[in-house]
Amino acid sequence: MFYLGVDVSKKTLDCMLLNTSTSKSKSKSIPNTNAGFQQLLEWLSKQGAPNAHVVLEPTGVYHEPAALALADAGLTLSLVNPAQLRQFALALGFKTKTDKADSMVLARYGATQQPEAWQPPSKSARRLKALLARRDAVADDIQREQNRLEAIEFGDSPSEVRASINKSIEFLDGELKTLEAMIHAHIDDDPDLRSNKKLLESIPGVGERVSIHMTALFAAKTFTSAEQLAAYLGLVPVQWESGSSVRGRPRMSKAGPKHLRKLLYMPAVTARRWNPHIKAMSDRLLAKGKTLMTVIGACMRKLAHLCFGVINSRKPYNENYAM
């Protein structure tokens, strides 16, 4: 069995091919380009490993083209959590950190840990994710410009500066409306995305923006349980105890995508009033003496559970379910 560890950087892919039968390995560095991906596939064929199990760690946007190209070529591919990989490297005694060493750690991680195969998102899911990322970036730019406009109210700034900021905001507002129209059109044109969005919006507390982002998440990743979804979002509590002296307060893991946790905060606050399941849980936790922030964290987790529930069951939210 062959395992290919790929350490990804902006310009190159440092690869280590490990043959578990002979324990021998070969390394190769290729450009992180479409031509480089084809070169890698040809090299694997020459080495007698056209079906090697590829293991790499997510590195922002730089790993995505390589991961998609190799998965589309039919190779089994796994994405490894960087924190887990670093702990694995320390356990093996790897104290140095180089591109070649990292690629070897990835290959050995695949050979010993047998990570699950990554399922690439559909082209429709990829498009929705890209549109949402651009929409959020433009919205952030609008907020920054509005903050600048507010700041110059307290200074002696020229009128030309105010005009420039207003012009920028006007342009960005137009871009935002265009992107939102494209997002809605894309969802409406895809029956699966449209159905998921409708199911999510049946949950009291889940508005349009949350439903769109969660629709994109469910289209891009597969979750087998509500707990797995909550763990991915970083909403599960983490204990901090050791022996008889260390008794830290449990805290949210915050291990997943930050923007989704931020997005779920206000809907969870609203759901404490209008969602029967979340309201009942909130009242119960407050009666036990839990702090308000702890309760809101639990409400965010419950909201994620409800999102999984309607998507998994393919049924709209039912306020009388298990009440």
Q: Is the pLDDT of residue 302 over 70?
A: yes
Residue 37 CA to chain centroid, in angstroms? Answer: 24
What band does 96 get if pLDDT is binned at 50, 70 and 90? confident
> What gap in Å lies between CA 215 and CA 157, rounded to an integer?
44
Which residues does residue 8 pair with via DSSP β-bridges, in sequence order?
A: 13
Q: What's the pLDDT at 202?
A: 97
The residues spanned by each domain of the chain are 2-113, 123-189, 209-313
Q: What's the pLDDT at 244?
A: 54
> What gap in Å lies between CA 217 and CA 231, rounded to an integer?
14
Q: What's the pLDDT at 248?
A: 58
- Give buried/exposed letters for 87-126 (b at 16+ CB in 10 A, else e): ebbeeeebeeeebebbbbbbbbbbbeeebeebebbeebbb
> Edge-to-edge strands of the sheet including 24-31?
24-31, 12-19, 2-8, 53-56, 77-79
What band does 323 get if pLDDT is binned at 50, 70 and 90? low
Structure tokens belonging to residue 240: 């901090």
> What gap in Å lies between CA 294 and CA 248, rounded to an integer?
14
What band does 81 get if pLDDT is binned at 50, 70 and 90? confident
Q: Is the pLDDT of residue 16 over 60?
A: yes
Q: What pTM, to 2 d.p., does this model score?
A: 0.81
pLDDT in tens, 126-140: 999 999 999 999 999
Structure tokens belonging to residue 139: 């919205």
We find that the CATH architecture of domain 2-113 is 2-Layer Sandwich (3.30)
